[in-house]
Structure 1
Amino acid sequence: MVSSGQLAPATDACPAPTSTGIRSLTLGDLGPDPAWRRPVLIEADHLILVTGGHGTLEVDFRPLPCRPGTMLRLRPGQAVRRTDALDAVVLRWGAVALHGLDVDPDTVPTHTQLVGEDEEAVINEVSQLVVDCRRQRGPAGESLLRLQLAVLLLRLTLTGAPVNGTDSRTFRRLCRDVEHHYRYTRRVEDYADRLGCSVRTLTRACLAVTGRSAKQVIDERVALQARRMLAATDEPIARIGRYLGFPEPTNFGRFFSREVGLSPGAFRATGGRVAAPARITRPRPPHWTDRA
């Protein structure tokens, strides 16, 4: 076991991923461009534990303050950019890593500053995972890594402050449905039909949790995906619009300008380095509590 409060040193070479995709990395491994001139779209689930430096890490165009003990939870598809010199341990896992285990990674806070006993316990578990990613192989090693990851995620879940209630549960259900269908419909009525509730129920839940309507939550998710693709890829703007359900480029341009305040071309020209409108956020379960 790694000694209390000390993080296992990172190796020069990244260990080979296990069949479940559990792997230890560094921040530099996330971006092919050392200068991080544009954000990178994350393709798998990640945890980032900052071990050195002070500054920010940009996640979905939102600068998050970081210092030793900061833990970030990244989800597939998010846009990430390092804006300051930070050292961090990164854990990555594949979709099957938690299969059959009673743990929901969506309950892990997106951004939390660990302190005291929480920080010590998390550092110990991350350190052991880093060591075992290098050492353990075979079915028994795979099972060990999966269980260690599950314990770590459960511990991080407990650092948050869950918000319960009917509105919170409804909002979380909507967020999950939006993630699967935002490309195909922005109509609140369609989501209400699938979830078996009324438009009024969805709107009330969104207003209670976010202060915004269900329609705003859905549109913000579409706008966020547009921003990700414009800033992190070279896809033509018209193709991005079609991907997001806008057959006509002019309609996409009007929608994006309304939501973001810039045309798609102007936003791309900035490299995504413009301040996000205050009301644009990624829909998320209400108990993903940020602790700074």
Structure 2
Amino acid sequence: MVPSGHLAPALPDAVSGSVEIDTATLASLAPDAGWRRQVLLDRELIVLATGGHGHAEVDFRALPCRPGTLLRVRTGQVLRCTPPHLAATVVRWRPEALAGLDVNVADVPPRVQLAGEDEDAVINEVSQLTVDSRRHRDTPVGRSLLRHQLTVLLLRLSTLPPRARRAARPEELTFQRFHREVELGYQHTRRVEDYADRLGCSVRTLTRACLAVTGRSAKQVLDERVALQASRLLAATDEPIARIGRQLGFTEPTNFGRFFTREIGVSPGAFRAAREQPGPGPLVRPRPPAEAAGS
């Protein structure tokens, strides 16, 4: 066991893409030495800050970080750290790594500042997982060990901070169902009617639920999700703008340009040109269910 309060050195570089669970340094995730660009994540992350001070931009939201700050970052989000001297250990895993295990990653808060016994316990578990991922990740027993260690870590984090539990209102349940369907279908359709049909309810019901939970209509929630994905791809990839538009269901580049400019306030080209500047500009984003519905 690692002494309480001390973190074992993380693996300095990325490991094979076939590994389900591993650890790395925060610096090893950077697309360049100065974190001038966002990185589009293909795995789930727990980021535990161990030294320095700075900000982590998650989907263009600047989150202050200092030793003990812990972030949960999801597959498909974009990440950048500014200034680049923030040190952190990163636990990474593919979603299938937790298949069949009794843990819900959504119960882990997106950001928490650890302290006291909670911080010591999390540091110990992250450090032990780091050691074991280096020594045992290539064996069947080692992979099973890492899966259970990650489960314990996530279960512990799901209790931080304590949150009052209450039964969700009908509008919240409808919004959560709508949100899940949007995640599955936003690249194919931006018609609220299509989602209402899938959920077996009326457009009015969806709009009323979205207004109650987020203060925005169902159409606004849907368009914000498309604009967020467009912003991620423009910021973190070199895909041609027209191709990004086609991926999101726009057959004509001009239609995509008008949509993006309306939602974000600048054209796709201007947004991409400014992507290496700190804070790429205002971005309207949908709130995830845990934030939107409250708890």
Name the TM-score, length of structure 1 as normaliser. Answer: 0.90
Code of the residue aligned with 1:125 in structure 2: it is E
| Cα 1:117–1:211 shift into 2, 3 Å | farther
What SS does structure 1 have at the residue aligned with 2:24?
strand
Q: Percent identity?
A: 62
TM-superposed deviation, 1:52 = 0.8
Task: Answer with 243-252 or 151-160: which moved more.
Answer: 151-160
| Cα 1:82–1:102 shift into 2, 3 Å | same
| Cα 1:242–1:12 shift into 2, 3 Å | closer
TM-superposed deviation, 1:287 = 5.4
Task: Answer with 155-164 or 221-230: which moved more.
Answer: 155-164
Q: Work out the CA distance in 2 between the residues paired with 1:258 and 1:13.
A: 40
Code of the residue aligned with 1:7 in structure 2: it is L
Q: 2:41–2:77: 8 Å Cα contact kept in structure 1?
A: yes
Residue 274 of structure 1 corresponds to 280
User: 1:35 aligned to 2:34?
Assistant: yes
User: 1:213 aligned to 2:208?
Assistant: no
Code of the residue aligned with 2:70 in structure 1: it is M
Code of the residue aligned with 1:54 in structure 2: it is H
Q: 1:106–1:285: 8 Å Cα contact kept in structure 2?
A: no
Q: 2:26–2:88: 8 Å Cα contact kept in structure 1?
A: yes
| Cα 1:154–1:89 shift into 2, 3 Å | same
Q: 1:241–1:249: 8 Å Cα contact kept in structure 2?
A: yes
Residue 131 of structure 1 corresponds to 131
Structure 1 portions without partners, runs of 5+: none
Residue 73 of structure 1 corresponds to 72
TM-superposed deviation, 1:206 = 2.1
Q: 1:174–1:191: 8 Å Cα contact kept in structure 2?
A: yes
Aligned length: 287
RMSD: 2.2
Code of the residue aligned with 1:151 in structure 2: it is V
TM-superposed deviation, 1:101 = 0.6
| Cα 1:42–1:15 shift into 2, 3 Å | closer
Q: Name the structure, 1 or 2, with higher relative contact order (CA <8 Å, separation 6+).
A: 1
What SS does structure 2 have at the residue aligned with 1:158?
coil
Task: Answer with 146-155 or 163-172: which moved more.
Answer: 163-172
TM-superposed deviation, 1:286 = 1.9
Name the TM-score, length of structure 2 as normaliser. Answer: 0.89
| Cα 1:258–1:118 shift into 2, 3 Å | same
Q: Work out the CA distance in 2 between the residues paired with 1:288 and 1:124.
A: 33
Structure 2 portions without partners, runs of 5+: none
What SS does structure 2 have at the residue aligned with 1:24?
strand
